[in-house]
Chains A and B, each alone.
Chain A
Amino acid sequence: DAGVTQSPTHLIKTRGQQVTLRCSPKSGHDTVSWYQQALGQGPQFIFQYYEEEERQRGNFPDRFSGHQFPNYSSELNVNALLLGDSALYLCASSRTAGYTFGSGTRLTVV
């Protein structure tokens, strides 16, 4: 049974560019949550998708947007990248209470 899959694993982008990160949830899970983890800090909640709609959002600007597809997979899009967007981006899937995390995408903005 595959767990949560994220792609790509690493990414380098230039300031001002746009990026799309992808997440396939664990089989049987229907909810996807995205987190940003800066170096040395705990993960910060970006938003959560359920039934193809954004159900909750954390304190992130509109440059961060997402999507959930009918097969429950999800994308995180970040526009107009800033140096401060450099971080590990984590996707978690769930069906009821417990999260399962993917391995993350490490984004570096130069």
Chain B
Amino acid sequence: GIQVEQSPPDLILQEGANSTLRCNFSDSVNNLQWFHQNPWGQLINLFYIPSGTKQNGRLSATTVATERYSLLYISSSQTTDSGVYFCAVDGSGTYKYIFGTGTRLKVLA
């Protein structure tokens, strides 16, 4: 099955810093989403982005499907950005998402 790798596994930032999270996948995908899991376990959908670039406030994402990777950019980080960021991909077109191992982000005040 499709493999999803995320990097870095852990990231510590000072408030106000920028960061880039990466998601590599081993095969072509039909669908891709980025999620933020808060400390209470809630998974929040950030982007649905099988290809191209999207922006939402301080967050933006780019997926280069032909090269099998996606990037999530966080600018001017805030303490509320802390948590785990997951990339999830669907390679079959049947909406069965496979999750990466996540990037654990901690933003310090």
Task: Name the segment of B11-19, B67-75, B98-106 touching the other chain.
Answer: B98-106
Is the pair B101, A56 in contact by a Cβ cutoff of 8 Å?
no
Q: Is the interface of A mostly helix, strand, loop or mixed?
A: strand
CB contact list, B36-50 vs A, under 8 A: 40-45, 48, 50
Interface residues of B (CB under 8 A from A): 30-31, 33, 35, 40-45, 48, 50, 86, 88, 90, 94-102
Q: How far is the CA of A25 from the CA of B45 in the complex (A)?
A: 15
Q: How far is the CA of A89 from the CA of B100 in the complex (A)?
A: 17
**What residues of chain B lie closer than 8 Å to A58, measured between beta carbons?**
96
In the complex, what's the smallest C-beta–C-beta distance from B102 to chain A, in angstroms?
5
**What residues of chain B lie closer than 8 Å to A103, measured between beta carbons?**
40-42
Q: How far is the CA of A102 from the CA of B90 in the complex (A)?
A: 19
CB contact list, A66-97 vs B, under 8 A: 88, 90, 92, 94, 97
Q: How far is the CA of A99 from the CA of B43 in the complex (A)?
A: 10
Is the pair B101, A106 in contact by a Cβ cutoff of 8 Å?
no
In the complex, what's the smallest C-beta–C-beta distance from B6 to chain A, in angstroms?
9
Is the pair B95, A104 in contact by a Cβ cutoff of 8 Å?
no
